[in-house]
Each structure stands twice: as structure tokens, then as C-alpha cells.
């Protein structure tokens, strides 16, 4: 039976977090207007809906000082749909942020009033420094521990900020957005590079940045990152946390600037028509920034002003939550047979390392916890595909706070947990990590294969078992009332784990 959900009906499904009220951000930029609806306002943001409309509000504004009527009409028409979406999704709060094009326009009040009438919510026109601040917080939200310089490239402006210890300073804004730069440079990326050098001559890039990291935000730079991934056949088509050496990115950007266009570059067809002609200008900006700041590498961030604005509204306690662990906990609640069992698995794996005297770094322990939280998310899949589908959910999912080597580790761990040590499900991602990371994934994945035959993914069993060492023998200790677990299935799994972990001998003790 087909059910049409009206705006007054409850659209919540069981696959959603219970009691979560969606929150939305409408970002009015110089190139596009975009509505993103998140499942709830939390440290780890999960997008429920994401739509943009390319309106080019910033086109010609440097000359006319006004938003063009046709572009305003296009943006307002898109917002009528955005308003309907927000009502249908029962969004609790819509935050509307306007950036460079609107703040610089002489007719901004007329446009802002029209937006507020449609969306029934106030518009906040960000200053250049505010835009720089929230862009920096977006990087902090998605890449905890980042330190360096953040750049947010929009259609009308470029914002730069320093980040150290989770806080940003020295926010600056420059008239170097790609639409403005294309207009000012008469459509020449080579001329644009010269303008960038001139306008950044007195920026924070002239300080002592040598060897630091640069974080790049913005749709044009995301397109540039995707192009680079295509040229080097990178195995993970994900921009968030994509790291490239500064020298390599400068070379790549200068090639694009010299060519004046993207024609002939692998992956160019994946760049939207509205963005394609702007990428060479984004390349000109990025190359000049990396050279001026003498950065060691560039890391691309898919999180920016929208996410930074929401992050900035959280209290300090919530800001200090690890977004990767929170996101993994949510997936465990939504997809595993028993979230409590995941917690048992965390302690079971930790007890092994303690028993054998193996120390973990904080990052190793963090990723182990996350792997345990995600270990049962594939149970609904067909047995032949639980490994590959779990790998896809982790490697290509929306988790934040994890770099690409970390994604490789998590994917490899789940592949082995489901398919065993001969699994090929995550093979393509192995090059993203190190040999040591792969060895650790195999260790923890095979330890999970010991746990699940004992528990059927239900809590309360693992806390009553423990590992110990008897000289060179790894011992799995079971209580007397669990003696029936000591069968061929468990013993084969324990043998595989012990051999992979480098233990010469192994046994099961009961009692």
C-alpha cells in the first residue's frame, strides 16, 4: 500500500536515531546556494539531505556592485523548494548563512528580505573574518588535531586562518574567489596567478609557515582534488582527509593553469558544468598559496563553514567528543545485533594486548575501539557479501575524524572479521596504509573471529573469558559452564589467530 507523507506526518524510519530532530544549514554562496539537512545537531554530523543550485550570485558583482536580477530569481526559486524540503523533513532549525556575494552587494537588503520571507528564518550575513572563523572550525570538526593554515575558496572570496590547539587566529578575507578572479583576470588563469600573488603579498602566508600543513576547503578545490585522484589512480575516491605533498600539488595546479582548461584530464567529465571552467582559477590560487606559505602538504576538507557553524554552537564538552567514535557508536546502535556486545568486544581485544604485554599508542587503541563498534554492521547482508558490504560501508561511508590510512585499517579489519585471512574485500585499499597497519588489521580481525563463535553477537559471554600466556603458549580461558564452547570451530579460529599473532603454541583451558 502506497502512503504519501504530508508535511504534518512523521517521516522517521527505524534506521534513524531515536528522538533525533534534524537541523539544516542553508549556505548562500557566490557560486551556488546549498541546503544540507543533518540527522541531528551533534559532534558527528550525518547528512540526511544535500542539494545545491548553481546560481552564480557573485558573477559581475565586482563591476556592478549588485546581485544580478536573473541570478537572484534563480536562487529564490531554489529556496522555495528548500523551504518545502525543510518542512517535509520536519527540520527543527534552519540556519541561513550568506557569504561574500551577498555581503558585498548594494542590493543585499532586498535579497535578504526575500530569502527570509521564503524560508521563514533569519539570514546571517557573515563578515570576511566570521567566514574565515567558521571555515577553520569546519576543519577542526572534521580533522581533530589539525594544526596549520586553513583556506576556504568560494566564488567571491578567499578566507585564511591559522589553527593551533583547536583554535583559529588571524582570520583574513581576500577578493580572490574563483568567480571574482575569473572576472578580474579577463578569463585568463595565467593572469589570475599574478593577481593572487599581488593580493596575498601582505597575508599571513608571509609568516613562518615553512613545513606546516595547509587545509583546503571549497567546491572548486574539491573538484581539483578529485581530478588529482583520477590522474594518479588513487584507490579511494573521497576528498575528505585527502593529503598531497605541496610540491606535487603545485606541479599539478601549474599544469592546469598552463592548459587554461580541463580538457584531456582524467576525471574532468565528473566535474559539474558549473564548476568546470572555474577549476583552473582554483588551481591558480592553490599553487600560489602553497608556494607563498612554503607548506609541506595540503589536506582537503569536505567540511567547511556549514559544519564549522554548527560545531561552534556546541558546548565545550560536546566539542571534545571524538567524532569518529560517536559516528561508530551511532552505526552500532542502528545496524548491529547488539551494541552491548560491541562494548564487550572492545574489552576482549584490550585484555589480549594487556595479557601479552603489547602496548598500544592512543591512535591504535582508538581505531581498535572503532573497529569493534563496527564489527557487526554487516549481519543483514548475504553471507557471501558481508565482508565486501561492510568494507564499503566503512571505507566509503560518511564517518569523519579518520584519515585515509585509518579507513584502510578499518576496512581491512572488517574484511578479515567476515571473510577470514584470505579475504580480498579490502585489497584495493591496502596501499593507503603501511605494512604495520595491515598486520594489525589482520591481528584484530582474526581475534574477532575467535570472539563471534563464542557469543553469537550477544553480550555477557566475552567478559567471562580471558587470554593469558603460559611461557610461549597463548591460552584462552573459559569458565567451567562454558566448556561446551571448546569445539572444533572455536579451536580452529584460535589456532589461526595464535599463528598469525606469532604465538608458537596455543590451547583452551576450561575451569
Tell me the per-residue pLDDT of 171-195, one tens digit each, with 9 for 90 and over.
Answer: 899 999 999 999 999 999 999 999 9
pLDDT at position 7 = 45
Question: Which superfamily does 23-125 belong to?
Answer: ATPase, nucleotide binding domain (3.30.420.40)
d(CA 345, CA 482): 18
d(CA 408, CA 155): 34
pLDDT at position 351 = 98
Is residue 473 within a helix (H) or strand (E), and if so which, with residue range? strand 473-478
State the alpha helices, DSSP H only, in 267-361.
273-276, 279-293, 305-313, 316-319, 323-335, 339-356
- Specify the DSSP class assigned to residue 97: E
pLDDT at position 9 = 52
Render the burial of 149-162: b for 16+ CB within 10 Å, e for the rest: bbbbbbbbbbbbbb
The answer to whether the beta carbons of residues 509 and 461 sit under 8 Å apart is no
What residues pair up with 25 in beta bridges, in sequence order?
Answer: 36, 95
- Determine phi and psi for 246, rounding to 5 degrees: -60, -40
d(CA 383, CA 371): 19
CA distances, 373 to each of 300, 345, 410 (Å): 27, 8, 11
Residue 320 cell numbers, joined: 571534545
pLDDT at position 19 = 80
CB atoms within 10 A of CB 294: 13
The answer to whether the beta carbons of residues 199 and 175 sit under 8 Å apart is yes
What residues pair up with 51 in beta bridges, in sequence order?
Answer: 35
CA angle 316, 322, 326 (to 5 degrees): 110
**C-alpha 172: how far from chain center:** 25
pLDDT at position 6 = 47
CB atoms within 10 A of CB 181: 29
Which residues of the chain carry a pLDDT beneath 70?
1-13, 264, 266
- Rounded to two decimals, what is the model's pTM? 0.92
CB atoms within 10 A of CB 136: 32
- 23-125 and 129-309 share one fold: yes
Q: Tell me the pLDDT tens digit for each residue of 36-57.
A: 999 999 999 999 999 999 898 8
Q: Give helix then strand counts, H and E, for the chain.
A: 20, 14
In CATH, what is the architecture of 129-309? 2-Layer Sandwich (3.30)
Q: Tell me the pLDDT tens digit for each residue of 106-148.
A: 999 999 999 999 999 999 999 999 999 999 999 999 999 999 9
Topology classification of domain 323-461? Hypothetical protein af1432 (1.10.3210)
Render the burial of 48-79: b for 16+ CB within 10 Å, e for the rest: bbeebbbbbbbbbbbeeebbbeebbebbbebb
Would you list the domain boundaries of the chain? Answer: 23-125, 129-309, 323-461
What residues pair up with 49 in beta bridges, in sequence order?
Answer: 37
pLDDT at position 4 = 40
Amino acid at each position: 500500500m502506497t502512503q504519501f507523507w504530508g508535511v504534518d506526518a512523521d517521516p522517521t524510519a527505524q534506521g534513524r536515531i531515536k528522538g533525533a530532530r534534524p537541523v539544516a544549514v542553508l549556505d548562500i554562496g557566490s557560486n551556488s546556494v546549498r541546503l544540507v539537512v543533518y540527522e541531528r545537531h551533534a559532534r558527528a554530523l550525518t547528512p540526511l539531505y544535500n542539494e545545491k543550485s548553481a546560481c552564480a550570485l557573485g558573477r559581475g558583482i565586482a563591476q556592478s556592485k549588485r546581485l544580478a536580477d536573473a541570478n537572484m530569481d534563480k536562487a529564490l526559486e531554489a529556496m522555495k523548494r528548500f523551504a518545502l524540503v525543510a518542512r517535509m523533513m520536519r527540520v527543527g532549525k534552519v540556519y541561513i548563512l550568506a557569504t561574500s556575494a551577498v555581503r558585498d552587494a548594494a542590493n543585499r537588503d532586498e535579497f535578504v528580505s526575500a530569502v527570509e520571507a521564503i524560508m521563514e528564518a533569519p539570514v546571517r550575513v557573515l563578515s570576511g573574518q566570521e567566514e574565515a572563523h567558521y571555515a577553520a572550525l569546519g576543519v577542526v570538526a572534521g580533522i581533530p588535531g589539525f594544526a596549520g593554515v586553513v583556506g576556504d575558496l568560494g566564488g567571491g572570496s578567499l578566507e585564511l586562518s591559522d589553527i593551533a590547539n583547536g583554535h583559529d587566529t588571524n582570520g583574513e578575507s581576500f577578493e580572490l574567489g574563483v568567480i571574482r578572479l575569473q572576472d578580474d583576470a579577463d578569463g585568463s588563469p595565467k593572469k589570475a596567478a599574478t593577481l593572487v600573488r599581488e593580493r596575498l603579498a601582505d597575508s599571513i602566508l608571509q609568516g613562518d609557515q615553512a613545513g606546516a600543513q595547509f587545509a583546503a576547503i571549497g567546491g572548486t578545490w574539491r573538484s581539483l582534488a578529485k581530478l588529482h585522484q583520477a590522474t594518479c589512480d588513487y584507490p579511494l575516491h573521497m576528498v575528505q582527509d585527502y593529503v598531497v605533498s605541496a610540491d606535487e600539488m603545485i606541479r599539478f595546479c601549474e599544469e592546469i593553469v598552463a592548459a587554461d582548461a580541463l580538457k584531456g584530464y582524467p576525471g574532468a567529465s565528473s566535474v559539474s558544468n558549473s564548476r568546470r571552467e572555474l577549476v583552473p582559477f582554483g588551481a591558480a590560487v592553490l599553487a600560489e598559496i602553497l608556494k607563498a606559505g612554503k607548506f609541506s602538504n595540503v589536506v582537503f576538507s569536505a567540511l567547511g563553514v556549514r559544519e564549522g557553524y554548527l560545531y561552534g554552537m556546541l558546548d565545550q564538552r560536546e566539542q571534545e567528543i571524538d567524532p569518529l567514535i560517536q559516528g561508530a557508536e551511532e552505526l552500532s546502535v542502528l545496524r548491529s545485533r547488539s551494541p552491548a556486545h560491541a562494548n564487550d568486544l572492545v574489552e576482549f581485544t584490550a585484555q589480549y594486548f594487556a595479557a601479552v604485554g603489547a602496548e598500544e599508542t592512543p591512535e591504535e587503541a582508538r581505531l581498535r575501539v572503532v573497529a569493534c563498534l563496527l564489527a557487526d554492521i554487516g549481519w543483514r547482508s548475504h553471507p557471501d557479501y558481508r565482508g565486501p558490504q561492510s568494507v564499503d560501508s566503512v571505507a566509503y561511508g560518511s564517518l569523519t575524524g579518520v584519515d585515509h590510512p585509518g579507513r584502510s585499517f578499518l576496512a581491512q579489519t572488517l574484511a578479515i572479521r567476515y571473510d577470514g585471512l584470505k579475504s580480498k574485500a579490502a585489497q584495493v585499499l591496502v596501499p593507503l596504509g603501511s605494512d604495520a597497519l595491515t598486520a594489525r588489521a589482520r591481528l584484530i580481525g582474526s581475534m574477532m573471529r575467535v570472539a563471534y563463535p563464542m557469543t553469537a553477537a550477544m553480550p555477557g559471554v566475552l567478559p567471562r573469558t580471558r587470554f593469558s600466556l603460559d611461557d610461549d603458549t597463548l591460552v584462552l580461558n573459559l569458565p567451567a559452564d562454558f566448556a561446551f564452547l571448546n569445539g572444533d570451530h572455536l579451536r580452529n579460529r584460535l589456532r589461526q589467530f595464535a599463528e598469525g599473532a606469532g604465538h608458537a603454541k596455543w590451547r583452551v583451558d576450561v575451569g
